[in-house]
Amino acid sequence: MKKLWNLFLIAAMLLVAVPVVAAAPPPQGGGQDYVVVADDWLSKLADKFLGDVLAYPAITYYTNQKNAEDDSYAKITDSDMIEVGWKIYIPSPEEAQAYFAGQTTIAGATGGETIKIGGFGPLSAPGSYQGGTELRQAAEMAVDEINAAGGVLGKQVELIFGDTEGLPERGTAVTERLITQEGVVALTGEYHSGVALTEMEVAHKYGIPVVFAEPWADDVTGKGYPEIFRIAPSIEYYSSIASNYISEAGWKKIVFVTEDTDYGRLQGEGWVTQLAALGITDVEVIYADPATEDFTPILQRIAQDPPDMLGGVITGIGNSRMLRQACDLGLAPTAQTAYYATTDSQYPEFWENVGDCGQYVFFTYVGLPKSLWNENTEAFIANYEARYGQVPGGVAMESYDAVYVLLKAIEQAGSTEPGPIIEALEGIEHAGVLGKIWFPYNSKNPVPDDQPAWMWHQWPTPNVFILQYTEVGQSVDQANVVFPVERATGPLYTSP
């Protein structure tokens, strides 16, 4: 497999001259079908057939590509869980090499000596590739702007972005490669909490600083690793906004259908605890596989005793499927049952998938709604729209600010060594797209006993709002801010 990685590096260097996003190729042949037997696991099969235990994401990818054309192949949604009797596809060494070469984006000026930073996030299914694409695009834009202004420490910056596909094991492999193969001095990005929790372990092992842009799991910063910083909200902070809004709206009977992942379980547990503290105890959380295509059985049971509010807390396409099916059943959104959706509702694909069922849906938005933009936000939005032809969401704002925070710290540190960068991050103050960013709790000012552990290296005032669509096809910019009340631009509307 060393040969595969050498070929990958050569391919990457050939791509350096022009920013490229190379999609992983479809199966080209040369591999083989395989039926899973007892005691098989993907890393074991990768070692046996490809000579490298870390090559297992290629088996996952190509098997899922086969499944899209022939359902006799298994669909792998978790590379840690395969079942006896599944038909999978083992790629050839050449296909595996092509896969890994196709999962990396190289952006920024690359002539001569550069400062390399790594980025990671989902650019393909089963991950939330819409969010991952915004992460990458905003990061590339920030790097290009900084390079145009002279770079960092007199050098140009090179961003190398790896596709994690929303899979924890893939995040581990990508982070390992960025650090050990590409030699990045720092990392940024990520969308999924479950993936970030594996990436941070690799970064911690090598002592490489990370400014996470979007993952919310409390433990991302709660573990207190010196290398890890975050500008996104924690799960507890994020959930508290919706919990307070539910209380403010006066709803008493709540049902959440939540994805069965680390993120989903943390969300569900957090809401139950927070709502109970607010006096709301009739709360049910139903966990479902995020890859579920038919939520009808779950929704039919809920419809027998409709709640005041139904929450569909599933990232990716599952969010739209569940809403559409709830709408078709006449369950929600209605005057009786409001519908709360995930942040994926902010992307244009939402309306393509749900049609007029999206009217009256409300959701939590991380970022600044248009009514609250500052000068930096306005400039960023205009430049992003001109460059990519679409209005960015909160994820892009976070990614853009995270890159600026990271590179500003490297400049202030006067070094690309981890220790000085971490020290500079602890003292950073940055006037960004989202507002002033800083990290109050750090090695010089530990988290007090009366504050949650996740406040370590955490931006304390992330922008989190409740927004609602009132017309079919609205953009996020047109949606009403309904909470917090003091910053609302309109009331919550219910379906007639």
Give the per-residue pLDDT at 3: 36
Average pLDDT for residues 320-348, to the nearest whole number?
A: 90
**376 contacts: CB under 8 Å, gap ≥ 6:** 431, 432, 433
Name all domains of the chain by residue range, CATH numbers in brackets: 2-102 (no CATH), 127-233+376-455 (3.40.50.2300), 236-369+465-487 (3.40.50.2300)
CA proximity to 220, closest of 452, 466, 463, 461: 452
CA proximity to 107, closest of 145, 161, 152: 161
pLDDT at 9 over 60: no
Give the per-residue pLDDT at 102: 61
pLDDT at 89 over 50: yes
Out of 39-48, 223-232, 270-279, 425-434, pick the least confident.
Answer: 39-48
Give the per-residue pLDDT at 5: 33
pLDDT at 167 over 80: yes
Average pLDDT for residues 39-63, to the nearest whole number?
A: 84
Give the per-residue pLDDT at 112: 53
Question: Residues in the chain, how many?
Answer: 496
Split at pLDDT 50, 70, 90, the class of 105 is low
Residues 187, 199 contacting (CB under 8 angstroms) = yes
Split at pLDDT 50, 70, 90, the class of 22 is very low
Q: Which of 242-246, 264-268, 296-300 has the highest mean pLDDT?
A: 296-300
Give the per-residue pLDDT at 448: 97
Residues 142, 188 contacting (CB under 8 angstroms) = no
The DSSP H or E segment spanning 212 is: strand 210-212
Give the per-residue pLDDT at 246: 93
Split at pLDDT 50, 70, 90, the class of 490 is confident
Give the per-residue pLDDT at 54: 73
Give the per-residue pLDDT at 109: 57
pLDDT at 115 over 90: yes
Split at pLDDT 50, 70, 90, the class of 323 is very high
Average pLDDT for residues 207-227, to the nearest whole number?
A: 96
pLDDT at 2 over 60: no
Residues 372, 113 contacting (CB under 8 angstroms) = no
**249 contacts: CB under 8 Å, gap ≥ 6:** 309, 338, 492
Average pLDDT for residues 34-41, to the nearest whole number?
A: 88
Average pLDDT for residues 333-361, to the nearest whole number?
A: 88
pLDDT at 473 over 70: yes
Split at pLDDT 50, 70, 90, the class of 125 is confident
> Is the pTM value of this prediction over 0.75?
no
pLDDT at 15 over 50: no
The DSSP H or E segment spanning 324 is: helix 317-328
DSSP string, 37-80: -TT--HHHHHHHHHS-GGGHHHHHHHHHHHHHH-TTS---S-TT
Higher pLDDT, 317 or 137: 137
CA proximity to 477, closest of 381, 374, 375: 381
Residues 127, 191 contacting (CB under 8 angstroms) = yes
Average pLDDT for residues 259-284, to the nearest whole number?
A: 91
What ranges make up the beta strands (E) of 346-490? 362-366, 430-432, 435-437, 464-468, 480-483
- Which residue has tokens 């001095």? 185
- Which residue has tokens 């984006």? 105
Give the per-residue pLDDT at 204: 97
Out of 69-83, 121-135, 219-233, 456-470, pick the least confident.
Answer: 69-83
- Percent of all residues in the chain with a pLDDT value above 70, rounded to a whole number: 91
What mean pLDDT value characterizes the chain?
87
Burial of residue 98, with CB atoms counted within 10 A of its CB: 0-12 exposed, 13-18 middle, 19 or more buried: buried
Higher pLDDT, 21 or 375: 375
Average pLDDT for residues 426-445, to the nearest whole number?
A: 96
Give the per-residue pLDDT at 154: 93
Give the per-residue pLDDT at 486: 78
Average pLDDT for residues 350-361, to the nearest whole number?
A: 91
Average pLDDT for residues 110-120, to the nearest whole number?
A: 83
Higher pLDDT, 370 or 250: 250
